[in-house]
Every structure is written in C-alpha cells, then in structure tokens.
Structure 1
C-alpha cells in the first residue's frame, strides 16, 4: 500500500501557498476553514492513508488555526471522531466550551458533527486520525462528555492506542489490504478502551477538569460583560483567585488569557460573517466585552497578525466557502 494522497507547498509559489493550503485543508478534511495568524510566509505538507475505515494523516506546517462552524458541521455527510496526536509542537482543541491542550506524547479527541476550533500556535508535526463515529456509538459509550479532552498517551491503554496509531501510519505502505483493515479495527477498539477508561476515572485530575469546565461555562455565559473579572468569577464559583489559576496551570494558560482569547475569537467570527458587514469594528468589539478600541486593536493584531480592518477586508476578498461538504 502507498499513501492515498500527498500534498506539499514546496512546488507552489510562495505567494500562492496560503490559498492552496486552505483549499487542501477544506478538501481533505471536508469543509474545514483555516487561517495562518496573518503570517505571509508559510509551508505545509500532508500525507494521508487509510486503514480500513480509519483515515490517518501526517500533517507538517507552520503555525495555523482551523475552524469548523456550526453550519459546516450540520452540512457534513459523514460523522467522524477526530484525534490530534503531536509528534512536534502543540495544539489546543476547543469544543462545547471545553478545551484540551496537547503536546508530544499525548492525544486529544473531538467530534466533527459539532463546531470546534484547533489552534496550532507554533510549527507542528501532527498525526491526525479520523474514526467513523458510528463504530464507537454502537458500543454504548457516552461520547459527548469525553470530547475536547486530553485522553492521555503517557501510560496505560491510552499510550498503547497512541503507539498503535503511530506505528500503523508508518507501516501501512508495507501492509496488505486485509492487514490494514485489521489495524484500523484495532485502532478503533483501543480508542474505545481509552475513552472508556477516561469516562470511569475518578481522580484529582478529572475533578480539576470538571472545575475547569465550570469556569469556562461561566465565562461563556458572561463573555459579553465588560465587568467579567477574576474577582467576579471567584465570587460566583465560591473559590479563590488562586484556585482559578491552579485550574489552568496544567495547560500553561491563565483564566485572563482564556477570556481574552475567547473574546478575540468571537470578534473574528463576527468580522468575517457577511451578516455583520454593516456593523462597525468598534461595535463588534464592544459587544464582546472590550471597552477600549485602541486596546482591542493592539491585542487583535498580536493574536492574528493583522489589524481588525485588514482582517475583515481579507475575509471579504476570500472566495465563498463551498456549499457541498463531503465528509468530516
């Protein structure tokens, strides 16, 4: 067997690489928007292959983000669970108000039938694994609470699953069709066992995840309120500010930075939405909790690499998204 598709920007003129990459990501992953943090220099490579019904893709690229909107999720023809397992770099998975930060040696999982966002804030080398969702739903596993979770990879069954996914990708070229199909079935079973273990695990780590979820849910409900502060969150959740910081320490993040990032993401979504074309940038920013236009412009540029007006104009000039979505 050989990889079913190989894509590289090495053969593309530098000025065309960003547009070509976005088109590849859209086509290969079935309706997935992407942006490059406003960077003008980019290179990326994807090599995909299949083990039975399981699709495995090795992705190497400069920093970038991908986004699946609720509309695109609803338009999908096939449902997948998707795993990101970094060989190099890191990724942040956000879905259903939860967030998982994953580095080499770990993996995180999410559901393509719902909206999500993946941030790759540095150059990455990832293994992306797509498993048909129905193969896990049929086993009676309650999936929703397990999405956007850091499943593991350091020890136990999650490590066996990670090593199997990696070795399967590497050895597929020398496998027969029958062996490849069996390897895909094994991956599905190991992922199921990993999720089953995660669902039943009662530990300080999972309690901390639950508390982090409560914090994020509170932030989501009050994101538009400019008075949303750590003091207000601590009072609402009946905890100390130190406890709030401890909840985010495992992800090298802070509650304040999380609030800022979510507000910026919300503004980005509105700025690229044609239905908000008549609204001013200031109106959008203030609607999402910012109360100083100069501060908003500065942090927006730090986050995206572009000014808000340049970002809006770039999104306006981009070709309209395809209406037909083929898979995940």
Structure 2
C-alpha cells in the first residue's frame, strides 16, 4: 500500500497541540488518555462525521500513544467497537493480553469496554470507524479472541475494505447526512464481514450462533409490529423465553435492547431520508413499532443526543 504524508489531502480544519487534540479525540470517539514523548512538538488533527451512532474519521498525528483506562471505561454510557486502518506510519495495539505490531495497510479491531493502548512511534495517519457493539451480531467469546490482532492482511475481503474505509473517512464530511449514513452502515457491514472471516479460523459456528442469527433476522422482519416482544419471538422459534434471553446475555445485551436499538436505527434512516420529508416524526415512529410518540422522542434523544426533529433535512 502506498503511504503518504499524514496531513496530506484530508482538508483538516486545523492542526492541534496535545491538549486540544486530546479533547477533540475524546469528543469524536471515546475518552482517551493521549500522551506524547515530547508534548511541546506534538501536532495532531482529525476530521470526520457521526452518521447516527456510527462514527467515521481520519486522524493524523506525530508520535504519541492513546490509552483507554479502567477509570475512563467506568464513566462510559455507550458501548462501541472500533476498527482502525493504519494508512501511514507504524504502531502497536495492545488489548486482552495480546499485542500486534502494525505497519501501513494493517487493520485491527478493539473493544472500548476493555482497556487498550495504541502506540505510534512516528508520524501516523489512521482511518477509524466506531459503531455500537450490538450492530455486530457475532459471538462475543470469539470476538474477544480477535481484538488486537491484524485482520485481513492478505485476504480478498481485506483488499476491498482498505480503499473503501480510507476514501469514506476522508470524504464523509462532504456528504449529505442520508448518504453518509448509508455509506457508513456499509462500512460497518464490510468490517463485520472481515471480522467474520477472521473468526472462521478460530472455530466452527455453534448451534447457538445459528439460532441467534435467525432470531435477529426475525426481529428485523417484524420491527414494525408493536407486538414484537421476547415472548412472541421465543414462541416463533419454539424455545423458552429464558433460553432466548440466554442467547443475548452471552453478547452482553438483552433482547429488548436489540429491538429498541434496531427500531431507533430504522427511524433514524427514515428521518434523514429526503424522500420521507413529508412524513411526520410520529408516523415514522409508529410505522417502526413504537406505540407512543412522546416515549419515542425521549428514547431517541437519549440514544442520539438530539430530538428526532433535529436530524431532519432542511427544506429548500
């Protein structure tokens, strides 16, 4: 992969000293302890966009390290996976007792709910996509064995993910919200495919994995029904409600949380879609299984930090 100057071509708003860079990174992704061997000469910049709850950005910086500590994790309210493409420079990732050296073109995957460190010994440039953990419907125990490893180094899938993520992270802020959302979700799907490829070398999928995927497909197909619930899902799959809850407890989530978040995602997609501009917020909420407009608005604001009306495209 060809390397380039870390600040080349991303149209960064400004190049920052250490303290403002630390603050900007914390605002854009999650709170991190950013350190530099020489704080006086450190320079860094970032550019990106949040498309709903998927964050895509480019980061360029001189030699530094970032650390996600236990104390920072305890204050977190959102639970994310992060996927990074190192476009230029060299580095190392450490998580879950593993460490992997990274060079330009390498990709890696890590969990913001557990401590990690990223160390860059020279000028570096990264493309990053960060997304809620429940968007990656893969077995948690196997995902935990892939953190801090190099993914897709020589695979066909990896060769497709690299240019897509690099291009998206550089241009995402120039896109309208609807397009940015769709392309960012595509990036998550591509990352999921790459991670799933990595899991294939670990173990064959279990019966629980197959059942969980069937349940998720069922949820997606029935999101519009206000009657969708753990009992109705369990009955449709001829299992007990307790068994159903166990499938998702293994993932660190609940059935109700998955239903709520997928409904919110679908509503978000429709709210920013220009073709839905003539539909009211209430009609979109009801069409996606919410039964109370006020409750929907409170839930949406709690999840995205904005009211539903706040993300709608302005009419010309």
Superposition TM-score tier, normalisation by shorter sequence: 0.5 to 0.7
Deviation of the 1:52 alpha carbon:
4.4
Alpha-carbon distance in structure 2 between the residues aligned to 1:143 and 1:47 = 28
SS in 2 for 1:65: strand
Worse overlay, 194-203 or 56-65? 194-203
Alpha-carbon distance in structure 2 between the residues aligned to 1:30 and 1:171 = 22
Alpha-carbon distance in structure 2 between the residues aligned to 1:174 and 1:61 = 22
Deviations 1:9-36 (A, max 9, x none): 2xxxxxxx23322333333333211110
Deviations 1:79-129 (A, max 9, x none): 111122111102211011011222222211100011111101111111122
For the Cα contact (< 8 Å) 1:57–1:127, is it kept in 2?
Answer: yes
Please say if 1:29 is aligned against 2:36.
no
Alpha-carbon distance in structure 2 between the residues aligned to 1:52 and 1:167 = 19
Structure-2 residue corresponding to 1:55: 55
Query: Structure 2 matches for 1:110-129, cutoff 5 A?
Result: 110-129=110-129
Change (3 A) 1:174 1:72: closer
Deviation of the 1:168 alpha carbon:
1.8
Alpha-carbon distance in structure 1 between the residues aligned to 2:32 and 2:144 = 21
Alpha-carbon distance in structure 2 between the residues aligned to 1:29 and 1:174 = 19
SS in 1 for 2:145: helix
Q: CA RMSD in A?
A: 2.7
Deviation of the 1:175 alpha carbon:
3.3
Change (3 A) 1:170 1:82: same
Alpha-carbon distance in structure 1 between the residues aligned to 2:172 and 2:179 = 9
Deviation of the 1:76 alpha carbon:
0.9
For the Cα contact (< 8 Å) 2:56–2:128, is it kept in 1?
Answer: yes
Structure 1 residue ranges without an equivalent (≥5): 10-16, 204-325
Alpha-carbon distance in structure 1 between the residues aligned to 2:176 and 2:123 = 33
Structure-2 residue corresponding to 1:8: 15
Change (3 A) 1:196 1:6: same
Alpha-carbon distance in structure 2 between the residues aligned to 1:179 and 1:119 = 33
Alpha-carbon distance in structure 2 between the residues aligned to 1:139 and 1:173 = 29
Alpha-carbon distance in structure 2 between the residues aligned to 1:65 and 1:190 = 27
Deviation of the 1:173 alpha carbon:
4.4
Structure 2 residue ranges without an equivalent (≥5): 1-9, 204-303, 306-316
SS in 2 for 1:122: coil
Deviation of the 1:60 alpha carbon:
1.1
Deviation of the 1:201 alpha carbon:
2.0
Query: Structure 2 matches for 1:285-324, cutoff 5 A?
Result: none
Structure-2 residue corresponding to 1:98: 98
For the Cα contact (< 8 Å) 1:53–1:181, is it kept in 2?
Answer: no
For the Cα contact (< 8 Å) 1:54–1:131, is it kept in 2?
Answer: yes
Query: Structure 2 matches for 1:170-185, cutoff 5 A?
Result: 170-185=170-185
Structure-1 residue corresponding to 2:163: 163
For the Cα contact (< 8 Å) 1:158–1:190, is it kept in 2?
Answer: no
For the Cα contact (< 8 Å) 2:55–2:130, is it kept in 1?
Answer: yes
Change (3 A) 1:76 1:6: farther
For the Cα contact (< 8 Å) 1:52–1:182, is it kept in 2?
Answer: no
Alpha-carbon distance in structure 2 between the residues aligned to 1:202 and 1:69 = 28
How many residue pairs get matched?
A: 195
* TM-score using structure 2 length: 0.56
Change (3 A) 1:103 1:57: same
